[in-house]
Amino acid sequence: MPQVDEVAAAWERIVGWLRRNAPASAEALRPGASDEEIARLNEELGFDIPDVLEVWLRMNNGSTAKDTEKPIPGGTAHLPHRDSVIFPGGMRFLGCKEIAGQHAEYLHIARDIGDDDYWKSPWIPVMEQSDAPYGIILDARNPSGPPPLLRFSEGDYPTSFLPSLGDFLRPLSDLLETGQAPGSVVAHERFTIAEGRLHWTD
């Protein structure tokens, strides 16, 4: 199955499961990104996002529908809602706006510390913890095949995680539907449902 189709099919299964079993979490999913939002993201990144990310964002533009912002001196503070956390490890799905903002922030840090290996322009943050710089990157440096996933954490350089986005979403859909995803990166993850919300347990 082509990678784009695999991502779309796995995400459709995940969203369907959330709507049936964790509606409060499903309500945190934004509608699909528009042509204008995709174009703006490409412009802000400085390159076109990979097809697998575009199809994912066109299905749902992140899990941040319930997030809010609070004015602070010099700008605004983003306040993630607990329902935005739909992935193991306390991670939320970043939409176009969050992707562009985080990408710019990490490149800014790399310039400030004078370390080009801290963050590279083709690294696209797609999942991130709501309260700390830990998450998953889509590495767009390889145009000839599916972009691999990297894992990043505060104070460490990003490291290899999985060969593709489908290799994360497919077993996650299996885990949600059946409670099992043997041999996968999420094989040992556990979750509960409370008040219509998905909770990942440690």
Tens-digit pLDDT profile for residues 131-166: 888 999 999 997 678 999 999 997 788 999 999 999
Element (H, E) at 126: strand 123-129
Top-tier CATH class for 3-201: alpha beta
All residues at 6 or more sequence positions from 110 whose CB lies less than 8 Å from its CB, including other chains: 116, 117, 118, 119, 120
What pLDDT does residue 17 have? 98
Is residue 197 within 8 Å of 25, Cβ to Cβ?
Answer: yes
* Predicted confidence (pLDDT) at residue 1 exceeds the cutoff of 70: no
pTM of the model as a whole: 0.94
Q: Is pLDDT larger for residue 154 or for residue 191?
A: 191
What pLDDT does residue 42 have? 98
The tens digit of pLDDT for each residue in 62-91 reads: 999 999 888 888 777 778 899 999 999 999
What average pLDDT does the segment 111-129 reach?
Answer: 94
Burial of 127 (0-12, 13-18, 19+ CB in 10 A): buried
Domain ranges, ordered by start, for the chain: 3-201
